[in-house]
Amino acid sequence: MKIFNPQQIKELDQYTIQEQSISSVDLMERAAHKIVDHITLNYAITQNFTVYCGLGNNGGDGLAVSRLLLKKGYNVTVYVVKYSANTSLDFDENIERLKKITTLRTIISEKHIPPIPNNTVIIDAILGVGINRPLDGLCKVLVDAINTAPNFKIAIDIPTGLFCELENYSTEHTLLNANTTLTFETPKLPYLMPSMAKHIGNWKVLSINLSSHYKHNIATEYEYTTLADIQKINIHRAKFSHKGTFGHAEIIGGAYGKIGAIVLATKACLKAGVGLVTAYTPNCGMQILQTTVPEAMWTGNQPCDFYLEGNYINTSKTIGMGPGLGVHPKTQAFLHLVIKATSTPMVLDADAINILAKNKEWLKDLPKNSILTPHPKEFERLVGSFNNDFEKLEKLKEFTETYNCIIVLKGANTAICSPNGQIYFNSTGNPGMATAGSGDVLTGIITSLLAQKHKPIEAAILGVYIHGFAGDLASTKTGQISLTASDLIKNIGKAYLKIKQVS
Ligand SMILES: NC(=O)C1=CN([C@@H]2O[C@H](COP(=O)(O)OP(=O)(O)OC[C@H]3O[C@@H](n4cnc5c(N)ncnc54)[C@H](OP(=O)(O)O)[C@@H]3O)[C@@H](O)[C@H]2O)[C@@H](O)CC1
Ligand SMILES: Nc1ncnc2c1ncn2[C@@H]1O[C@H](COP(=O)(O)OP(=O)(O)O)[C@@H](O)[C@H]1O
Ligand SMILES: [K+]
């Protein structure tokens, strides 16, 4: 699913109006109905609402929602926030419609902000994507007052004060803290940023049937991977395929006391469908590997605390390297040898990333289209610090473009950045996955998909989706608190089945 910027949202609106021969006020009505459907599903008729409406189309949405809720019998108090003399045409039309059924109240200055009763749900329709400057004066004071109130808050489209692009953005600006944000057609970029979660709350995309033609044809910098996107990827197994068809992966890593990382990655690699897998660990890992993962082959011939370059035998396998590897100087040299000796894309995780962060001049030796899977701390070691999440995304693009690689920046809504700077946010997964070894499982899955000849960017997107999906399926049995990395592995198969089932 594409993520449009505010300019594209305006164009999409206009395109839809022409294509569907619908007036903009009727499109607003369609949007308002979707909001009201959500509210009626979630709130009893006894619930009171207080709606704050600005003077543009976000305010227009608020007025239309108020009218529809009143008609259904809800108790709704509507305030028009008069911060300027300008109003939009659809706002004006909705004022006329609403006036016929209720009394409108106006807030004209900071001194006239009415107290907020505690039994009401607040609906924020002050400003939407039309925001072009930070909040000040009446809007700022009102948003501060709303933020102070303990009431549940629903924002329409975006919480008032939020900017969707780096331009204009500052962490100093006031913005409304919503508990739920109900947006139209596509998620907005800030919804996928950790620092914005407290402003956006839970968010939901409501489809308002905007032009498919426009959505299909316009390129965006950002996408949000949904099940429908994943189902376009071919995971079918042909009848006469054999284990050679599905590649041979080599998972390199582990050290004394950290062999478990390689056990998890190797198991996950198998469960994700690879034909053959070899675990490459220090000698102390051999028995453990052969006992816990009998399906895997073992190789290594390495001492337990570091890796020796001379013991490495280059093969044509698809390499996933890093879990439990350690950062001993000899291991660092070993990693440099491996990346120089490899010509096909490989997966680098954990200590492999930490070693590259210490030796940035080696990054140019990475095989083209290799996939690095840092968690946020590893990412910072790699690219340096940044001031906010917008800058973080810029650094992400800069890095993948410079080194011709793919980065999988892990976390909630993992961001996958291609070598040409396209970013795909993942939609599966849950906080239960913030547990030891969860990243090792991901390394195994992505290496497996790469070995199965998925294109590197596809392996990254599909791998992250399956990993998160396995986490979601696992959590239905274990709950999030007790979820472990092994539960993820157990649910990889089920995740595949679910993907295929509904396709
Ligand atoms: N396809 C969709 O998604 C659909 C979207 N729809 C809805 O339309 C909304 C966008 O509406 P919009 O373009 O009228 O903008 P909106 O946010 O109401 O701002 C209005 C005006 O406020 C002003 N202003 C700006 N910053 C300010 C500030 N800091 N403090 C004070 N004033 C400020 C500025 O005017 P100015 O003062 O510069 O003249 C600006 O033009 C969208 O979020 C969604 O709710 C649906 O109706 C249908 C389908
Ligand atoms: N809050 C969360 N929501 C969704 N996924 C998460 C969350 N926290 C962590 N994860 C996922 O769990 C994995 C953790 O990886 P990592 O930090 O490398 O763990 P480890 O080093 O213990 O293996 C990543 O794939 C990440 O996306
Ligand atoms: K709003």
Average pLDDT over residues 173-181: 96
Buried residues in 129-158 as b, exposed as e (16+ CB within 10 A): bbbeebbeebbbbbbeebbeeebebbbbbb
Average pLDDT over residues 345-363: 98
CA of 158 to the centre of ligand 3 (A): 5
- Any ligand 2 atom below 6 A from CB of 28: no
Q: Where in the chain is the domain with CATH 3.40.1190.20?
A: 230-501
Task: Choose between 139 and 314: higher pLDDT.
Answer: 139
Residues 190-242: tens digit of each pLDDT: 999 999 999 999 999 999 999 999 999 999 999 999 999 999 999 989 899 99
- Any ligand 2 atom below 6 A from CB of 275: no
The CATH code of the domain at 2-218 is: 3.40.50.10260
Q: Beta strand 2-3 with 222-225: parallel, antiparallel or unpaired?
A: antiparallel
- Any ligand 2 atom below 6 A from CB of 410: yes
Q: Where in the chain is the domain with CATH 3.40.50.10260?
A: 2-218
In this prediction, residue 165 carries a pLDDT of: 83
CA of 431 to the centre of ligand 2 (A): 8
Asked if the model's pLDDT at residue 53 lies above 50, the reply is: yes
- Any ligand 2 atom below 6 A from CB of 412: yes
| Distance (Å, whole) CA 321 – CA 248 | 14
- Any ligand 2 atom below 6 A from CB of 197: no
- Of the bound ligands, which one is closest to the alpha carbon of residue 354? 2
- Of the bound ligands, which one is closest to the alpha carbon of residue 61? 1
Using most ligand atoms within 8 A of CB, pick from 132, 164, 186 the residue to mutate for ligand 1.
Answer: 132
Residues 378-393: tens digit of each pLDDT: 999 999 999 999 999 9
Contact 110/95 with Cβ under 8 angstroms? no
Q: pTM of the entire structure?
A: 0.95
Average pLDDT over residues 70-84: 97
Please, how many CA atoms are within 13 Å of residue 328, restricted to the half-sphere of its CB? 17
**Which secondary structure element, helix H or strand E, spans residue 381, and what is its range?**
helix 376-383
Using most ligand atoms within 8 A of CB, pick from 14, 30, 61 the residue to mutate for ligand 1.
Answer: 61
Per-residue pLDDT band for 503 (boundaries 50, 70, 90) equals very low
2: which DSSP letter? E
Domain 230-501: CATH superfamily is Ribokinase (3.40.1190.20)
Tell me, what's the ipTM? 0.93
5 is in an annotated binding site: no
283 is in an annotated binding site: no
Nearest CA, atom 9, ligand 1:
58
Contact 182/206 with Cβ under 8 angstroms? yes
Residues 84-143: tens digit of each pLDDT: 999 999 999 999 999 999 999 999 999 989 999 999 999 999 999 999 999 999 999 999
Average pLDDT over residues 346-375: 98
Nearest 10 degrees: Cα torsion 121, 126, 129, 132: -150
In this prediction, residue 502 carries a pLDDT of: 53
- Any ligand 2 atom below 6 A from CB of 395: no
Residues 280-303: tens digit of each pLDDT: 999 999 999 999 999 999 999 899
For residue 48, the tally of other CB atoms under 10 A from its CB is 14
247 is in an annotated binding site: no
- Greatest distance between any 2 Cα atoms in the chain: 85
- pLDDT > 90: percent of the chain: 94
Residues 440-491: tens digit of each pLDDT: 999 999 999 999 999 999 999 999 999 999 999 999 999 999 999 999 999 9
Q: Which residues line ligand 1 (CB under 6 A)?
A: 9, 12-13, 27-28, 31, 54, 56-61, 83-84, 86, 88, 127-135, 139, 156-157, 184-185, 210
* Sequential DSSP letters for 157-218: SS-TT--SSSTT--TTS-----SEEEEESS--GGGG-GGGHHHH-EEEEE-----HHHHHHS
460 is in an annotated binding site: no
∠149-155-159 over CA atoms, to 5°? 90
CA 107 to chain centre: 38
Contact 297/272 with Cβ under 8 angstroms? no
